[in-house]
Chains A and B, each alone.
Chain A
Amino acid sequence: MAARLEILKTYKIYIGGQFPRTESGRFYPLKNKTGDTIANICKSSRKDFRNSVVAARGAFGGWSGRAAFNRSQILYRIAEMLEGRKDQFISELILQGLTVKAAQDEVTLSVDRLVYYAGWCDKYQAVFSSVNPVASSHFNFSVPESTGVVAVIAPEESSLLGLVTAVAPVISGGNTCIVLASESKPLCAVTFAEVLNSSDLPGGVVNILTGNSEELHSHFSSHMDVNALTYYRNNKSEIKTIKENASLNVKRVFIYDKLDLTSDKAQSPYLIFDNQEIKTTWHPIENIGSAKAGY
């Protein structure tokens, strides 16, 4: 009998809970150290991004409206799924040039980071809310609410940890997102989409594209139905364009160009807070026995 032929994985993108190829039909070859092609990766287009925004917008109401406790459980489920497929991620990281030790560390840290944010899902509200003692006869309180659809340009230098670091605070805060994965290390992004897909995370909450930031950053930042953009790279000219385009619809832009992914500083409820809006609600309090109404 002939030796068994290995089944190679087709790396596709992730939009609205589905795994399509890029509509553009374009690809770029991913090579290993010795120059051999490991895989053909989708070179996502503006149209892929626009489709993803539609999916993310569609998923936003349901995801932001979920009980925070439920979001917490789903994030924890993502961590469970990732833990269960550790070996696959480690071997993909090794394939992309990491040492065994570094690959193991990256995967375990990613799992732990997901657990960290799973815990925050139903807690950051208590930290960032306030009951405001106004001087008039009103009950007045402020709570954080999800900003909406967030475009994320994930770190280039990291395949998995960068993606998790960029996505977890956004979705734990009830937002939906479109993520551009690392161009040079895209394998884990696609495999992570499979993890998400099997974690009860509703389709459209996280949409993952592979491709080229130089081509896509202006589309990410100029789309009128994107509410915020987070950027984890340090290309000055891309940052400038992103901030300029953001003004088209007053997008919130957050640049995390100095983040050390492996440090504890790369995870924080304040990173969740960046993609939150504060809503303040007023209601009159009846003044018993007084002519003064708060209306």
Chain B
Amino acid sequence: MSKKQENKIALDFKTDWAYEPAPEDTKHINLKKQYDLFIDGKFVKPNSKKYFDTINPATEQKIAEVAEADEKDVDKAVKAARKAFEKWSKISAKERGKYIYRIARLMQERAREFAVIETMNGGKPIRESRDIDVPLAANHFFYNAGWADKLEYAFPNRNPQPLGVAGQIIPWNFPLLMAAWKIAPALAAGNTVVLKPAETTSLTALKLAELIRDSGLPDGVVNIITGAGKTGAAMVNHPDINKIAFTGSTDVGKMIQKAIAGTDKKLTLELGGKAANIIFEDAPIDQAVEGIINGIFFNQGHVCCAGSRLFVQENVTDIVIRKLKDRMESLIVGDPMDKNTDIGAINSKEQLLKINEYIKIGKNEGADFYQSSCSIPSKGYFCRPTLFLNASQSHRIVQEEIFGPVLTIQTFRTIEEVIEKANNIAYGLSAGIWTDKGSKIFNISSKMRAGVVWANTYNKFDPASPFGGYKESGFGREGGLHGLMPYLKF
């Protein structure tokens, strides 16, 4: 048997052919200079009289000012939601569903506007906000709308009833999509909502507030208030909220769980992750490389389920790494509004500092550092796609969530070894498996202590598909039939 020939041709990315800029048009966007709080169907000035700037992380320029809700504003929003609950929970489920359908349709009609604002405010590539965030957000409303009058079929032998007022706190990585994940099932189940978007990315939630107002949804059913951690804390501690739904960091999730310990508030937590993405020797290598890229560089790596720990079986390590590096060279980092851009801006200065700090830690811990040679804009917050090769299980960059375009790479020899390593972490949100052998997929997927397993694919989302974590990645599910449960009592 002759030794297997390996393709040694190095790909050459040096070319005179450059991409022409292909910027998405932003002229049709209608943004106000200042945004108030959306309470009881109206935009109202904050009691605090305070506003804070929201910027475009790709240009560092201010886009608008957003109101900061204080405790009194939170109380006002909760009161509005409580008042609205009396009616909303009693109108027929069929009508309730129709309101939600209407929101979905309006969002589809205004999809491009939402996509552009999402990219302006959060820094994600327009291609992602246009093709993923916004359509998925609309689909979540559409999907859940249909459940409103079918809940008794979802939970056999039970009589599902709404909880009351849901306080929902969402992160900055998928601002509109997370708002949809939270609001749609809550409404379908007959609850009313007070939602707080993240302070760096409030704009699409506020545009959603406008849309909801225009949709004719009864006043107070959805209230959207803006602010930072203090506003969130005021919601968590408000005595008349029945349910807290939080998506964000594990640290804050733990604080919330502790804060409501003495109450009867129901809780769902969708927290951090540090997913293992496992490449076996019998994997379809080219697709796996695409999966690695999509797993860690999608949305600049600001993804709780990002495939941030790569495990490659030893005998394919060389080829996987070579192809991975080649593919990384072809990634375009830059203007998020450009349709050719693969990796946009890091969401905030604070987050960029955190990522850079982890890169420093990784170098000091002794893993081999590698970045693509791409150029990055001089203004705005950007980070080149980054690898740490030869990382080890005890490294902080392997154990802790970085939430940026930074991938650690470990190798493994046996199935037992990789199962052990993949699970040996406090998180348990997601995992990836790449092999062409079906029985191996079922073996590994059933042994991953994680809530979502992508086999021969990665970072796929759908309103019909439940999402959520094991262990310290939180509890409760969002999406699908199981996503209704956290908003109901029986």
Q: Which residues does A use to contact B, with CB under 8 Å?
A: 127, 130, 132-136, 138, 140, 142, 145, 147-148, 227, 240-244, 246-250, 252, 270, 277-284, 293-295
Convert B236-273 into 0s and 1s, putting 1 for each residue whose CB lies closer than 8 angstroms to a CB of A. Answer: 00000000000000100111111011100000010100
Whether the Cβ atoms of B287 and A295 lie closer than 8 Å is yes
Smallest Cβ-Cβ distance to B445: which chain A residue: A281
- CB<8 Å pairs between A and B, sample of 26: A130-B481, A130-B482, A132-B462, A132-B480, A133-B464, A136-B462, A142-B482, A147-B470, A243-B257, A243-B258, A243-B260, A247-B255, A247-B258, A250-B250, A250-B254, A250-B473, A250-B474, A277-B470, A278-B451, A279-B448, A279-B453, A280-B451, A281-B445, A281-B454, A282-B454, A295-B291
Q: Which residues does B use to contact A, with CB under 8 Å?
A: 139, 156, 158, 250, 253-258, 260-262, 269, 271, 284, 287, 290-291, 426, 441, 445-446, 448-457, 460, 462, 464-468, 470-475, 477, 480-482, 490
Min Cβ gap B490→A in Å is 7
* Complexed CA–CA distance, A134 and B253 (Å): 29
Whether the Cβ atoms of A250 and B460 lie closer than 8 Å is no
Whether the Cβ atoms of A283 and B456 lie closer than 8 Å is yes
A249 CB contacts on chain B under 8 angstroms: 426, 471-472
Considering the complex of A and B, which 4 residue pairs feature the smallest CB-CB distances, nearest first? Answer: A243-B261, A247-B257, A134-B462, A247-B258
Whether the Cβ atoms of A135 and B445 lie closer than 8 Å is no
Whether the Cβ atoms of B490 and A135 lie closer than 8 Å is no
Min Cβ gap A269→B in Å is 9
Min Cβ gap A284→B in Å is 5
Min Cβ gap A260→B in Å is 16
A136 CB contacts on chain B under 8 angstroms: 460, 462
Whether the Cβ atoms of B465 and A142 lie closer than 8 Å is yes
Whether the Cβ atoms of B257 and A281 lie closer than 8 Å is no
Whether the Cβ atoms of B271 and A250 lie closer than 8 Å is yes
Whether the Cβ atoms of A280 and B453 lie closer than 8 Å is yes
Smallest Cβ-Cβ distance to B158: which chain A residue: A270
Knowing that A133-B464, A138-B460, A294-B457 touch, tell me 8 more A-B residue pairs with CB under 8 angstroms. A240-B262, A243-B257, A246-B261, A250-B472, A277-B451, A279-B448, A281-B453, A284-B456
B460 CB contacts on chain A under 8 angstroms: 134, 136, 138, 282
Whether the Cβ atoms of A132 and B465 lie closer than 8 Å is yes
Min Cβ gap A150→B in Å is 13
* Complexed CA–CA distance, A132 and B482 (Å): 11
Whether the Cβ atoms of A282 and B255 lie closer than 8 Å is no
Whether the Cβ atoms of B452 and A282 lie closer than 8 Å is yes
* Complexed CA–CA distance, A295 and B290 (Å): 8
From known contacts A244-B261, A248-B254, infer whether A278 and B455 are also in contact, taking CB-CB under 8 Å.
no
A138 CB contacts on chain B under 8 angstroms: 457, 460, 462
Smallest Cβ-Cβ distance to B441: which chain A residue: A283
From known contacts A277-B470, A284-B456, infer whether A243 and B451 are also in contact, taking CB-CB under 8 Å.
no
From known contacts A249-B471, A280-B452, A283-B456, infer whether A134 and B465 are also in contact, taking CB-CB under 8 Å.
yes
B482 CB contacts on chain A under 8 angstroms: 130, 142, 278
Min Cβ gap B421→A in Å is 16
Q: Which residue of B262, B453, B468 contacts A282 across the interface (Cβ within 8 Å)?
A: B453
Min Cβ gap A138→B in Å is 6
* Complexed CA–CA distance, A242 and B261 (Å): 8
* Complexed CA–CA distance, A282 and B468 (Å): 14
Smallest Cβ-Cβ distance to A228: which chain B residue: B475
* Complexed CA–CA distance, A282 and B433 (Å): 10
* Complexed CA–CA distance, A128 and B356 (Å): 43
Whether the Cβ atoms of A278 and B462 lie closer than 8 Å is no
Smallest Cβ-Cβ distance to A281: which chain B residue: B453
Smallest Cβ-Cβ distance to B453: which chain A residue: A281
Smallest Cβ-Cβ distance to A236: which chain B residue: B262
Min Cβ gap A161→B in Å is 22
* Complexed CA–CA distance, A241 and B467 (Å): 29
Q: Which residue of B284, B464, B468 contacts A278 across the interface (Cβ within 8 Å)?
A: B468
Min Cβ gap B424→A in Å is 12
Pick the most buried of A249, A278, A284, A293: most chain B CB atoms within 10 A of its CB. Answer: A278
B462 CB contacts on chain A under 8 angstroms: 132, 134-136, 138, 140
* Complexed CA–CA distance, A26 and B446 (Å): 42
Min Cβ gap A91→B in Å is 37
Pick the most buried of A140, A243, A247: most chain B CB atoms within 10 A of its CB. Answer: A247
A133 CB contacts on chain B under 8 angstroms: 464
Min Cβ gap A292→B in Å is 13
Min Cβ gap A295→B in Å is 4
Whether the Cβ atoms of A140 and B464 lie closer than 8 Å is yes
Smallest Cβ-Cβ distance to A139: which chain B residue: B455
A147 CB contacts on chain B under 8 angstroms: 470
Whether the Cβ atoms of B490 and A134 lie closer than 8 Å is no
A279 CB contacts on chain B under 8 angstroms: 445-446, 448, 450-453, 470
* Complexed CA–CA distance, A244 and B448 (Å): 28
Whether the Cβ atoms of A132 and B466 lie closer than 8 Å is yes
* Complexed CA–CA distance, A130 and B287 (Å): 27
Q: Which residue of A242, A247, A283 contacts B457 across the interface (Cβ within 8 Å)?
A: A283
A278 CB contacts on chain B under 8 angstroms: 451, 466, 468, 477, 482
* Complexed CA–CA distance, A246 and B453 (Å): 26
Whether the Cβ atoms of B475 and A250 lie closer than 8 Å is yes
Q: Which residue of A132, A145, A248, A281 contacts B455 across the interface (Cβ within 8 Å)?
A: A281
Min Cβ gap A262→B in Å is 20
* Complexed CA–CA distance, A5 and B284 (Å): 76
Q: Which residue of A248, A250, A270, A293 contacts B490 across the interface (Cβ within 8 Å)?
A: A270
A295 CB contacts on chain B under 8 angstroms: 284, 287, 290-291, 456-457
A280 CB contacts on chain B under 8 angstroms: 451-453, 465-467, 480
Min Cβ gap B160→A in Å is 11
Smallest Cβ-Cβ distance to A140: which chain B residue: B465
* Complexed CA–CA distance, A295 and B271 (Å): 26
* Complexed CA–CA distance, A242 and B262 (Å): 10
Min Cβ gap A173→B in Å is 14
